[in-house]
Amino acid sequence: ELLEHMETGKKGYSQPPDVEDYEKFFAKKLTEAQYVIHITMAKHTSMGYHNALEAAKSFENVTVVDSGHLSSSLGLSVLYAASMAEKHASRADIIKTIKKLRRYISSAFIIDSTHMMCQAGQISKKVQILCDALLLHPVIVLKNSRMVVGSMEMGNFTHVAKRYVRKVFMNAKNIDRRILFITYAGMDSQSVHYIQELVKQYCPFERVYLQKASSAIACNCGPGSFGLLFMKKNDAIISFSEASKTEA
C-alpha cells in the first residue's frame, strides 16, 4: 500500500524510533530477561543505532551492537545470535561473534527503478535520469555499515536478474548454503519464482525464505527491487559449531 501511495507521486519516508521509544522498549524487554543484546541495522544507514546507543546509557544491562547490515541480512545476525544464546554462549562471545560476522554476511540489492532512491535523497536527479535513459539498475551493497553502489546492470528485468544472480554466486564454494533470503519489494509471484529458479541453477540452498521487504526498506528501494542475502563460510561459525558439539 505504501508503494502504491508513492507511485501516485506522493512522498513516503522511513524514520527510526527516537531515544524515548528505545528506552521504553529496553525497559519492557528487561522484564522478560536479565540482559539485552540489541542488534541494530547498519549505523551509517539510519539513526536507529545512535538513538539506541543513547537510550542504553540509562541501563546497566543493555548492549547495542551494529550489525553492519539491514533487512534480512540483519535477520541473519539475529538468528545466529539467538542460536548462540540458546546454546548458553556468554554475552561476550555473542557480541564478539556478531561483530565478526559483519564481514561474512552478504547484503546486496538490485534496484529496478531509481525514482524512489532519488525521492529519498540517496541519489541525485541527474543520476536518476541517466539510469532511466540507459536502462541502468544499480546494485546497492553494504560495506563498512554504509550503502554503496557496487555495480550497474543494464537491460530489462529478465536479463538483469540473471546476470545479478550469476555474479552473486560466482564463488559458490565460499557460501554457507544453509539459509538464503530472497527479499523483495513490490514484485509479483511470477517474478519471485523466476529468481528462485535461477538461484537453484547456480547455488542451491538448504532453506530459502521468500521475504517481503519491510515498509522502511521498500520506500527507499522501490518496487521491483530484490536482494540475495546470505552468509559466507567463516571461522566464527565453524569454531562455535565445533565448540557446541564438544559441549554436547
CA nearest 108: which of 67, 155, 149, 65?
A: 149
* Helix and strand element counts for the chain (H, E): 11, 9
Q: How would residue 172 be classed by pLDDT, with cut points 50, 70 and 90?
A: confident
Residue 182 pLDDT exceeds 50: yes
SS3 211: strand
CA gap 127, 129 in Å, rounded:
5
Residue 92 pLDDT exceeds 80: yes
- Which pTM value belongs to this model? 0.83
Residue 24 pLDDT exceeds 90: yes
Residues in CB range of 168: below 8 A, 6 or more apart: 106, 108, 228
CA gap 181, 226 in Å, rounded:
10
Mean pLDDT for the stretch of residues 97-112? 91
CA gap 89, 98 in Å, rounded:
12
